[in-house]
Chain A
Amino acid sequence: MIKTIESIGRSSINIFVTLRATLLLAAGIILRLFSRRAYNSASRMVFINQFYFTSVQILPLFLFVAVIFGTMVNGMAFQVIKNLGLTDYLGRLLMGFVVTEIAPFVTVLLIALRSGSAINAEIAVMKVNRELNTLKIFNIDVIDYLFVPRVMTGMLSMVLLSSLFSMTVLVTGIFISSAIFGTSVDDYTGILLKSASLPDIVIVLIKCATFGFFITLIPIIRGLNASEEELTSIPVAVLNGMVRVFIAIVIIEVLSSIIRFI
């Protein structure tokens, strides 16, 4: 009985400590994002390399996925709408479902799988190799040098790539709607504009930035939790980090839906 209570208490303390450390680190990174000192030449180089790896290198694959996905989703959605006679809801479906829900979700999955896992492994390796300690010895702020550029990259990449995904899907929709409904470009854009809402677009952009923040912050934190004595802690850290990233994605998705619809 006492052991059970101790176990519950220990777990609660661990969760609290971890959460506190996470929140403190998140707060520190957020504060540094608005600090000019964080944007030095070294940080800028890290940012450019990380951004190149996260957004530019993935671009051909990302656009290919966007076109394929857009064609598939648009084709199915348009056909269903046509069969059900719900053509009035075409704009709402595209703007309310594809742009605000599907595009950020697909983008965050791609970036989390590719860049999030890489960041997690990189930080864990640096931790195991004690590179982080070395940087501290040289009085280099790891938050400014390592974390802020990556978090900044994650946020910016999410916003840009998600927007690109949405635009690709909507442009694909022009051809699909022309083929299925025979609508002109003007009619199609008119339908989209009718359903477009600036507050919704702002919420989507904020959601994308939040996604980007957490899919880089969580791998960084999990990477920092890797043990300095064991190389095997690296894959464990990556595994834990990716699971938490997925949980964070689901929670953010739910919260954003609550904010949008309530």
Chain B
Amino acid sequence: MTNNTEFKVGLFIIITALLILASIGYVAYKKDVFSKTYVYTLSSTTGENITEGTPVVFWGFNIGQVSSMELTDSGVLVQIKIPERNNRVIRAGSRFVLEKPLLSSSRIIVYTDNLNGLPLQESAVPELTVSDDINELIKRGQSIAEKLDMITNNIASITGDMSDPQGDVKRILKNADKVTALLAEKNSLGEMLMGNDESVRSIEEIIKIALDIAERTEEITGRLEALTQEAGEQLYGGEGILTLVREILDELTVKLAKVEITLDNLNKTSAETVDATEDLSLLREDVDETVSAIRNLVDDLDRMIPFKAESEIKLP
């Protein structure tokens, strides 16, 4: 029983002790406790944000840590320990930068351009520069804040303008409202394009007059045809009614020609406004038809009353 107990106790102690020793040894090996370490000294103007154990990082990997710090007359001497297996990245041209991230602890970043360069001598004292990320971030933040401030001011101005009954936005909206209302009114297109309603009214009056004249002329023509046979001499005389009518029509033709020029200009001015162009084209067509009708009427009159070629009218 005793031997059995002793064996069990001995076995348990040996196995457990070996397991513990193996675990600690493995951790120690992985932590480079048994490997040779190189100690380098860096000079810094400040010991702020540097503590014993601050990691030394190369390409994102921890390759060592700060082992001690010493305050001297010229600044702070920072000693870093680099295990032998990581020592190949520490070259004579290596630069050491203390990085102070905003949200995590500081670390020393190693920059080595030429990994095949000469190794850094342990007696050398390279400088440890400080990358002041916080201040850079603050500077960047300030410029962003200024831009944001401008944007905010602009938004405030726009919203203020929008809320102001006399503001630009309201005015634009009112004008747009007016324009749409005017556009909705077909009669006002000409007025919009010409700038004043007097011109439009005059055009409308002219057209009305022309239409009235045309109607009256047709009536007169009908009467003339009826009277031609009865009183040809009276009608076709130099002082006759038809001569008078012809003069009136000539005058009307001249006026309509002027209207035509005005309408051409209007058409050019309203080239960008499709609806207006269409309306003006329609108006133009109406005027053209009227002019054409009058011309036809004049031609008919000329044909029926050859004032220029023949001085005498042959009576039927």
Contact = CB atoms under 8 A, between A and B. Distances in A.
B155 to A, nearest CB: 35
A160 B9 CA distance: 12
Nearest to A201: B24
B134 interface: no
Nearest to B28: A198
Contacts of A163: 16, 19-20, 23
B6 A48 contact: yes
A225 to B, nearest CB: 30
B2 interface: yes
Interface of A: 45, 48-49, 51-52, 55-56, 59, 156, 159-161, 163-164, 167, 193, 196, 198, 201
B31 A193 contact: yes
A253 to B, nearest CB: 21
Contacts of A51: 9, 13
Contact of B27 (A156, A159, A160, A193): A193
Given A49-B5, A193-B31, A198-B31, A160 B24 contact: no
The 5 A-B pairs of least Cβ separation, nearest first, read A160-B16, A163-B20, A193-B30, A196-B27, A52-B5
Contact of A164 (B8, B9, B19, B27): B19
Contacts, number: 46
Nearest to A44: B6
Interface string B213-249: 0000000000000000000000000000000000000
A201 B27 contact: yes
Contacts of A198: 24, 27-28, 31, 33
A49 B6 CA distance: 8
Contacts of B16: 160-161, 163-164
**Among the interface residues B8, B19, B28, B33, which one has the most CB atoms of the partner chain A within 10 A?**
B8
Contacts of A156: 13
B17 A52 contact: no
A48 B12 CA distance: 11
Contacts of B27: 193, 196, 198, 201
A196 B33 CA distance: 13
Nearest to A57: B8
A56 B9 contact: yes
A161 to B, nearest CB: 8
A61 to B, nearest CB: 14
Contact of B2 (A45, A55, A160): A45
A48 B9 contact: yes
Contacts of A159: 20
A174 to B, nearest CB: 14
Contacts of B24: 198, 201
Contacts of A161: 16
A51 B5 CA distance: 10
A51 B24 CA distance: 24
Contacts of A160: 12-13, 16-17, 20
**Among the interface residues B2, B8, B9, B19, which one has the most CB atoms of the partner chain A within 10 A?**
B9
A136 B12 CA distance: 34
Contacts of A45: 2
A4 B19 CA distance: 57
Contacts of B2: 45, 48
Given A196-B31, A198-B31, A56 B8 contact: yes
Nearest to A162: B20
Nearest to B10: A48
B12 A56 contact: yes
A198 B30 CA distance: 11
Contacts of B9: 48, 51-52, 55-56
A209 to B, nearest CB: 13
A203 to B, nearest CB: 13
Nearest to B12: A56
A55 B23 contact: no
Nearest to A161: B16
A164 B24 CA distance: 13
Interface in B1-56: 2, 5-6, 8-9, 12-13, 16-17, 19-20, 23-24, 27-28, 30-31, 33
Contacts of B8: 52, 56
